[in-house]
Amino acid sequence: MFSLFSPKKTALNSGEVLNKDFSTVIPFESKAGLLFITICINNKDYKLLLDTAAFTILSPKLLKELACKQVQDSLKTLDAFGAQKDVNIYKLPSLEIEGIFFNGFHIICDDFSHKFPFSCLEFDGILGYNLFAKLILEIDYDKQQVVLSDKESKYKGFVSSSLLLLDGGIPAFSIQVAKKVFVVGIDTGKNDGLMLGDEVFLDYCREKELARQRTLGIFSSSFSGLNKHSFIDTYLLKDFYLVKKIPITSFTVSYQENAQNIAGNTFLKNFYIIINFAKQKVYFKKIKDEIKEDFLDSFGFLTFWNEEKKLYISAIIEDTPAYQSRLKIGDKILSINDLDTINFSQKDYCEFSLLAQKSLFNDVNSVKLTIRRDAKLIQIELKL
């Protein structure tokens, strides 16, 4: 996600939707836990990420197709992990999405085709929160569709609350933990669950001695690059409330110092969500009766790729088979079961991380790894 900081905030939020009295259903594709919408421009299809916590970003190719012009230099963006980046601002003459016309909006230019690992997703830009500032956005994870509208209806069975805003205009809601309230951004551009960067939350977890799972190494990336954290702690939070009214039996929450409080799709997909930007209201309806999650059973290692090592161990989770084995962060992976990874290309890693990795580890109780550490070859079998 990119949130935008500028002294000319009002000007950057300019733009208008030409349609009146409309309600349009737009299907999305779910890939790697993210939501993608396909649009057609000049008889060519382009895939855009729906990201409610980002400013709208288009690729240089799309910028040219849409005849966008640069209007302002060097503003700062901030991602969910606190990393800053200078960007240029462009003006979008017109963009059509399923018959809805967006005119005069400001956008950022960035090329994700050169930003590994986001290049694996093969998308052309981001539809961000500034496009929807005067609209109603409905997100239906069950039917894999969003609805864009400018007219209200009766939302039967929904729990409503005031729409809160994080810095930069990111839509947000509140969660209540005991007597403590945290404002959490709605981030459909994040495929994780709940992440809080508030020290008050950390103090609460330690005081209550909540169950904790620590991940050591490098384990996440954002649009500004790979996040080189040494560790991240995830706590099992029980008996808390969404917007003070919807009970959550249990859910895992990660703490990262200086990060924004963010809810990603792994958490959001438990609800049908309606964001009324114009009236500053948000509505939630649970998809299932009880939301009850726990730490996932896993072998406990994460992988990444670079040109030198190819596929390697990038992170290890404490108290898992990987942690209790001889595996170390940085070990080069030569094979996983019968899959030869010794000469993995970047393209191979993309296919492995987005598709094969899930099927490779589904419904299995053990995995065999052959790794290289310095000049040594080591074989390790992990069992759940």
Q: Check whether residue 9 and residue 101 sit in a common domain.
A: yes
DSSP 342-362: TT--HHHHHHIIIIIHHHHHT
379 domain residue, yes or no:
yes
**Tens digits of residue pLDDT in 204-244:** 999 999 999 999 987 655 544 445 557 899 999 999 999 99
What CATH number is associated with residue 206?
2.40.70.10
Among 123, 149, 175, give the residue marking a domain's end: 149
Q: Check whether residue 144 and residue 171 sit in a common domain.
A: no
292 domain residue, yes or no:
no
Q: Is 278 exposed, middle or buried (0-12, 13-18, 19+ CB in 10 A)?
A: middle
The pLDDT of residue 76: 63
123 domain residue, yes or no:
yes
Look at the chain and report how many structural domains it folds into.
3
pTM above 0.85, yes or no: yes
295 domain residue, yes or no:
no
291 domain residue, yes or no:
no
CA torsion sign, 116 to 117 to 118 to 119?
Answer: positive
- How far lies 114's CA from each of 7, 117, 172, 225, 375, in Å? 30, 9, 31, 11, 32
What CATH number is associated with residue 359?
2.30.42.10
pLDDT band at 5 (very low <50, low <70, confident <90, very high): very low
* Residue-number span of the structural domain to which 113 is assigned: 3-149
Averaged pLDDT, 150-171: 90
Q: Check whether residue 20 and residue 135 sit in a common domain.
A: yes
Residue 123 corresponds to which tokens in the numbers above? 């998308």
Q: How far apart are CA 169 and CA 54, in angstroms?
A: 9
Q: Check whether residue 17 and residue 128 sit in a common domain.
A: yes
Q: Check whether residue 91 and residue 138 sit in a common domain.
A: yes
The pLDDT of residue 127: 96
Q: Check whether residue 363 and residue 243 sit in a common domain.
A: no
Among 103, 128, 149, give the residue marking a domain's end: 149
